[in-house]
Amino acid sequence: MVDLYSWLKRADSTELLYLDNSYLKTVSVSLLDYACDKPGKCYLVFDKTIFHPKTGGQGSDTGWVRGESFEFRVEKALMVGNVVAHYGRVVGGELPVKGSPVTLELDWEPRYRAMRLHTAGHILDYAVMRVYEGHVNTLEARHSPPDAYIEYEVKHASEKIAEEILREAARIVEEARKVRAFWVSWEELSTKIYNAPNLQRLPRTSKYRIVEIEGVNAIPCTGTHVSNTREVGRVELVRLEETVRGLKLYYDVD
């Protein structure tokens, strides 16, 4: 059995390519290291990656690692400290020597769907604030299928309110607003964000990635998003659930 945490603590940080370009489907990287817990079942570490690990309410990407003489199926990506470990199985050949060039390839369909769902989440945050006419914090969120949801800290809910939220969301989608990501320092943060929930929970670091839907909101976020709200498609409400703390809105995109 691999002592994953102590092994990964020694590894170099992984460069997260999806932060600057969420549309990269394939890329050449260097296989820095790997460890196997059973024959053929291994954790792979690269110098950089396009695989989004399970973190920040977004699920893990899946896909492939290929080299001259092997094929490896990535079943999940995990973030440990600053390192992304790609867990999966060798499906052909043998892993090459450390330092070899390999190609990463995402299962694009589920990833693109996660990008649409995640962007829909930001749109819903805005729509909820509009409908409740004030700042609303989120309590929990999952932006990946099945059962994507956001839990909001609000006191009352109704079908009518849900309809209004969806109408607002549909308007933002229709307006085809640009979505962009950029980096700011701690000092710049307060001047760049707007309509952003949960700022009191934001950890203190030297820089932040802000995801802005032009004119709608600018939120610190490390997930993957589409570049125009039109790509989200139709935002649908799956069900509404009143919870002890607020309102859980299960949603989907069509």
Close Cβ partners of 252 (under 8 Å, ≥ 6 residues apart): 117, 145, 148, 235, 236, 238
Positive or negative, the Cα torsion across 105, 108, 112, 118?
negative
The residue of the chain with the least Cβ separation from Zn ion equals 221
Q: Output 86 or 118, the one with its CB closest to Zn ion.
A: 118
CB of 122 to Zn ion, least distance (A): 6
Which tokens go with 184? 């700011």
Query: In the complex, what is the shortest distance from the CB of residue 247 to Zn ion, in angstroms, rounded to a whole number?
Result: 20
Alpha helices in 85-107 (DSSP H): none
Given the complex with Zn ion, which of 89 and 113 has the nearer CB atom?
113
CB 196 to Zn ion: min, Å:
11
Closer by beta carbon to Zn ion, 42 or else 119: 119
Catalog residues that contact Zn ion under the rule CB under 5 A: 118, 211, 221, 223
d(CA 166, CA 162): 6
Name, in order, each residue with C-beta under 8 angstroms of 59's C-beta and a sequence gap of 6 or more.
114, 142, 143, 144, 145
Residue in this structure with the two tokens 């390839």, named with its chain if needed: 105
- Of residues 29 and 221, the one with the C-beta less far from Zn ion: 221
- Write down the least CB distance from residue 3 to Zn ion, Å: 32
| Cα dihedral 16, 21, 22, 23 in deg (nearest 10) | -130
Min. distance of Cβ 252 from Zn ion in angstroms? 17
Shortest distance, position 99 Cβ to Zn ion, whole Å: 34
Give the gyration radius of the chain's Cα atoms: 20
Q: Which of the 8 DSSP states describes residue 55?
A: B
Which of 88, 223 has the CB closer to Zn ion?
223
Helix (H, G, I), strand (E, B) or coil at 17: helix
